[in-house]
């Protein structure tokens, strides 16, 4: 009799355990998820059950805001909020109720909850969603534009479009960290993304030939970097500059030389013309000149094959004609050439 009661108890307990396992239902979600800014992001959740239960209700929320809701097959408010939908079109059969964020932005970050109701009961879970955005390749500018070795200057490194807030660090060619000698400015734009700018001051003579600007994300991971190299002024650049300066001077002096030469030539021409004019004055005889007589004497002198002129101390011109061997003496005032 006792053994029959024991068998009945065991059989009843087995039926109870079977019923409990048959009614088991759970919602399993990834506790954390990371999405990239400007891309689609997946919040993964799956309904786990041992029975062929029908899903009656699915609700996705962020805080108290309902993003996605489903009640039954006739529900017309399946996509309550634009930008959110079920990731799996066959989710009713696969029981994959994961939600897809079609365009991830900084404000998409936060905690999401998923609640599911079936014929056996309801269950839910949460997902902590984070957003990341990669920083752009840094750009390095210098003040002055070209920094010679062992001179003072400033290097400016800029990178933007990243999230969460990152950091810029400076290293020399020996991998020594110079971040403490820099100043960084951080600006968060209206989109929530960050702009980073860092100024590194270089002081002579403790300068190096290379400096690297490295952008680290919020997880201390290296994302992007850029290198600035300080180079010496090429040899001959100074002499080249001198040559260029000489060319400039030549461009100025050359016209002056040409103009001066033309002026000298002009003066010489004027002097020759003046000399010819004075040399063709009528000859005077005894301090007086009779025009007809002077003209004849001049013609006689011009007809000779050779002409020799001599200025005597008594201020006389002596001309000897070769044709007839005669000689004539003309008295005139002293000849002066201007």
Instruction: Tell me the per-residue pLDDT of 153-211, one tens digit each, with 9 for 90 and over.
Output: 999 999 999 999 999 999 999 999 999 999 999 999 999 999 999 999 998 887 888 99
Query: What confidence tens digit (pLDDT) does each residue in 221-277 have?
Result: 999 999 999 876 555 444 344 344 445 545 676 778 778 788 888 888 788 777 776
Query: What confidence tens digit (pLDDT) does each residue in 13-33 have?
Result: 333 334 444 457 899 999 999
Residue 150: predicted pLDDT: 85
**Is residue 92's pLDDT more than 70?**
yes
Residue 258: predicted pLDDT: 78
Higher pLDDT, 10 or 166: 166
Alpha carbons 109 and 117: distance in angstroms, whole number:
26
Strands (E) located in 82-221: 84-86, 99-101, 110-118, 121-132, 139-143, 153-162, 167-172, 182-188, 194-202, 210-216
Residue 79: predicted pLDDT: 65
256 CB-contact burial (10 Å; exposed 0-12 / middle 13-18 / buried 19+): exposed
Residue 156: predicted pLDDT: 97
* Phi, psi dihedral angles at 128 (to 5 degrees): -90, 110
**Is residue 66's pLDDT more than 70?**
yes
Sheet containing 55-62: order of strands: 32-36, 121-132, 110-118, 55-62, 65-70
Residue 38: predicted pLDDT: 95
Our CA angle for 41, 47, 49, nearest 5°, is: 165
**Is residue 333's pLDDT more than 90?**
no
What integer best gives the mean pLDDT of the chain? 77
Residue 266: predicted pLDDT: 82
For residue 323, name the pLDDT band (cuts at 50, 70, 90).
very low
Residue 254: predicted pLDDT: 72
Residue 329: predicted pLDDT: 45
**Is residue 103's pLDDT more than 70?**
yes
What is the H or E stretch that residue 225 is in?
A: strand 222-229
For residue 39, name the pLDDT band (cuts at 50, 70, 90).
very high
Our CA angle for 56, 59, 63, nearest 5°, is: 160
Residue 326: predicted pLDDT: 47
């Amino acid at each position: 009799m006792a053994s029959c009661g024991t068998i009945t108890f065991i059989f009843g307990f087995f039926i109870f355990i079977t019923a409990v396992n048959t009614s088991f239902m759970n919602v399993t979600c990834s506790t954390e998820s990371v999405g990239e800014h400007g891309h689609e992001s997946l919040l993964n959740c799956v309904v786990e059950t041992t029975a062929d239960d029908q899903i009656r209700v699915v609700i996705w929320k962020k805080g108290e805001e309902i993003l996605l809701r489903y009640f039954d097959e006739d529900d017309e408010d399946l996509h309550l909020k634009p930008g959110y939908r079920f990731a799996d079109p066959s989710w009713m059969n696969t029981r994959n109720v994961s939600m897809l964020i079609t365009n991830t932005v900084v404000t998409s970050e936060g905690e999401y909850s998923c609640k599911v109701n079936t014929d056996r009961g309801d269950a839910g879970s949460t997902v902590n969603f984070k957003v990341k955005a990669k920083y752009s390749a840094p750009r390095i500018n210098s003040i002055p534009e070209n920094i010679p070795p062992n001179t003072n200057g400033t290097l400016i490194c800029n990178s933007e479009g990243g999230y969460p807030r990152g950091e810029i660090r400076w290293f020399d060619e020996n991998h020594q960290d110079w971040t403490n000698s820099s100043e960084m400015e951080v600006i968060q734009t209206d989109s929530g993304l960050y702009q980073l700018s860092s100024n590194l001051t270089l002081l002579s003579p403790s300068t190096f030939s290379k400096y690297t600007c490295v952008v680290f994300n919020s997880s201390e991971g290296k994302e992007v970097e850029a290198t600035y190299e300080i180079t010496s002024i090429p040899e001959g650049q100074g002499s080249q500059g001198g040559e260029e300066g000489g060319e400039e001077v030549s461009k100025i002096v050359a016209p002056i030389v040409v103009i001066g030469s033309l002026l000298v030539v002009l003066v010489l021409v004027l002097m020759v013309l003046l000399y010819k004019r004075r040399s063709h004055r009528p000859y005077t005889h005894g301090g007086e000149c009779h025009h007809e007589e002077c003209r004849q004497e001049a013609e006689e002198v011009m007809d000779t094959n050779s002409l020799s002129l001599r200025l005597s101390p008594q201020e006389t011109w002596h001309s000897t004609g070769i044709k007839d061997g005669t000689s004539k003496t003309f008295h005139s005032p002293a000849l002066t050439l201007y």
